[in-house]
A and B are shown apart, each in its own frame.
Chain A
Amino acid sequence: MSDDAAIVISVRDLVVGFGRRVILDRLSLDVLRGEVIGVVGASGSGKSVLLRTILGLIEKRQGSIAILGIDRDAADNDELREIGRRCGVLFQYGALFSSLTVVENVEFPMREHLGLPPGLRHDVAMAKIEMVGLKPDDALKYPAELSGGMTKRAALARALALDPEIVFLDEPTSGLDPISAEAFDTLIRTLRRTLGLTVYMNTHDLDTLATVCDRIAALADGRVAALGTMSDMQSCDHPWVREYFGGTRAHLAARGSEATAAT
């Protein structure tokens, strides 16, 4: 196990700001291979900014970000493309291309990155679609014809299209009803075991944090205020973390996850 515990994402002294406002202030965070890390924080605490900066969608002011051992600043175009191939992203609202069907959406990254024969590409895309729990009939639908939960699943199938090593999930269960959200949590757990994924997720969902995440990073004041398991969070003395994880809902979620683990 110690061999696998290599660092796949390394964020060092990251500073990001807009105008005079500093959002992330010398933030450091390591993500280990094979773990599921959940990032929590109040609205406006910079969760999304951190995710988007790691993905290279927002410019940073200082610090360094290395993904899979490749430093974003030093990387040339080929290396950036390589990062794109080895990472999958599930955006909050799916970000499926609305002019393509579900199966075409899943095939899209394969077409761009791998020289696959069309038949094989289609077969693998269909396999991914079924692995995320959609029916084969859904593959020919357009994103506008999907429900919220199906959109998330289709977007996850696209994120997994290239068998990425790291999957970034932005609010994977937001906007889903509790049953769909739980099904999605189970799906993430299953896929992570099946495909050996490292998962980085932004979430507000205490149940997801309790049942899926190995480690939790709580952002406050532009830094990682606390890092550890659910029980570490509950015994943390940072005021925001205590409020977030000390509430009734958090205790219920933690107890629920123990009950699931026991059965």
Chain B
Amino acid sequence: MTHPPQLTTTTQGLLASGAWTAAYLAVLERITGDAGARESSGRIDVAGIVALDTFGAWLLERLRRRIGPDAEFVGVPPHFQGLFDALSKVNQPAAKAGAGNPVLRLLERIGRATESAGVDLLALVAMLGALGEALLRVLLNPRRLRLTSSVHQLDRVAWQATPIILLITFLIGCIIAQQGIFHFRKFGADDYVVDLVGILILREIGVLLVAIMVAGRSGSSYTAEIGSMKMREEIDALQTMGLNPVEVLLLPRVVALVIALPLLTFVGSMAALYGGGVVAWLYGGMSPEIFIARLKEAISLDHFKVGIIKAPFMALMIGAVACVEGLKVKGSAESLGLQTTSSVVKSIFIVIVLDGLFAIFFASIGM
């Protein structure tokens, strides 16, 4: 019992019949596609339609609109009247706006991206301000410090991060030493590997590597935590209880990070130097006594200071970016993932930019 849909042209107008349903979509597309052009009387007789769903009804409605504003349906079976009425109201042309010149769209995208970068920067500055304000309030009244929370966060970002930081920095120290020995040997300058390892690790690699790892490990978890609290309206709940979320949630986390990063940088640098020494001994044949003696000559306290001074600033930026991104999370699970990714990417970017600025600064003051 199948009635393929048909659309025929008669002197009184178009005559539609058969089953206008999704099952015959291909046929319907074809027969409605070119029928509008050869029709002028503006009448579509639909009395012969035996089955109709939204797809068929929409194709008829589209055909009617294409013929002209005065076109009308005649002989609508009573049980399909509701569907015709419902579709005659929808998809009015106003909804079609939005397309446009591709060049303009590109310019619009660039403009929006620039604006959002500016907004991000402002949000970061605002977050630093809010953290500073909360810190001042805590300093004026130290009993407001969330000590338990800060210590708990410190345990998470410093103590629990130590093994992986030690392992990775140790390996990087090994690799730098091995490469140094391998290439310097050509010039008979093996001994200078100690200078390479010492200066590179203490000034740059140690702090940079640790900061990037902390951004990936702790920054992302901060964003995810704060974001999921935002999603479940926990932050709103805090606010309605008259508590400042920055002081309760964000400050302990950022303070923990600012304390943790210099400590981790120190142990990381030591592990890297140890790795360099081990490789110099096993691969380069340099005894540990000689390595230590050369290291004392090669590096000064300044190198160590240059590295370690940068750590708290990098920690502050990682923490602030993580908080800003966490608070940007909206209701959906997807936005949580998006903001976590963007937190890690942005904080690594800022850490590297900051490192560059510090390099210029230290060079100009002669450290």
Contact = CB atoms under 8 A, between A and B. Distances in A.
B58 A127 contact: yes
Nearest to A129: B90
Q: Which of B54, B330, B333 has the most CB of A within 10 A?
A: B54
Contacts of B85: 194
Contacts of B92: 136
B22 A127 contact: no
B144 to A, nearest CB: 34
A163 B20 CA distance: 12
A68 to B, nearest CB: 15
B94 A136 contact: yes
A153 interface: no
A123 B54 CA distance: 11
A120 B60 CA distance: 12
A163 B54 contact: yes
Interface in A107-121: 114-117, 120
A98 B29 CA distance: 32
Contacts of B331: 98, 143-145
Given A120-B59, A123-B58, A124-B58, A194 B83 contact: yes
Given A114-B25, A194-B83, A144 B332 contact: yes
Contacts of A114: 22, 25, 55
Q: Is the interface of A mostly helix, strand, loop or mixed?
A: helix
B25 A115 contact: yes
Given A99-B334, A126-B90, A163 B25 contact: no
A130 interface: yes
B90 A163 contact: no
Contacts, number: 74
A162 B59 contact: no
B244 to A, nearest CB: 26
A23 to B, nearest CB: 30
B91 A127 contact: yes
B106 interface: no
B86 interface: yes
A163 B95 contact: no
Interface string A162-200: 110000000000000000000000000010011110000
A131 interface: yes
A126 B91 contact: yes
B82 A131 contact: no
A195 B54 contact: yes
A98 B53 CA distance: 28
Contacts of A120: 25, 29, 55, 58-59
Interface in B66-94: 79, 82-83, 85-87, 89-92, 94
A190 B89 CA distance: 15
B62 interface: yes
B83 A123 contact: no
B22 A131 contact: no
A143 B90 contact: no
B59 A130 contact: no
Contacts of B332: 98-99, 142-144
B334 A163 contact: no
B22 to A, nearest CB: 6
Contacts of A131: 54, 86-87, 90
B59 to A, nearest CB: 7
Interface string A145-173: 10000000000000010110000000000
Contacts of A215: none
Contacts of A98: 331-334
A252 B334 CA distance: 44
A127 B54 contact: yes
Nearest to B85: A194
B22 A194 contact: no
Contacts of B335: 144
A187 to B, nearest CB: 11
A124 B330 CA distance: 29
A128 interface: yes
B168 to A, nearest CB: 34
B29 A117 contact: yes
Contacts of A117: 29
A123 B62 contact: yes
A83 to B, nearest CB: 16
A66 B332 CA distance: 37
Contacts of A143: 331-332
Nearest to A192: B82
Interface of B: 21-22, 25-26, 29, 53-55, 58-59, 62, 79, 82-83, 85-87, 89-92, 94-95, 330-335
11 contacts: A116-B25, A117-B29, A124-B54, A126-B91, A128-B54, A136-B92, A144-B331, A145-B330, A163-B21, A195-B53, A196-B79
Interface of A: 98-99, 114-117, 120, 123-124, 126-128, 130-131, 136, 142-145, 160, 162-163, 190, 193-196
Given A130-B89, A163-B55, 6 more contacts: A114-B55, A126-B90, A145-B331, A160-B54, A163-B21, A194-B83
Enumerate the 6 nearest inter-chain pairs by beta-carbon distance, A residue then B residue, closest first.
A144-B331, A98-B332, A194-B82, A163-B53, A130-B90, A136-B95
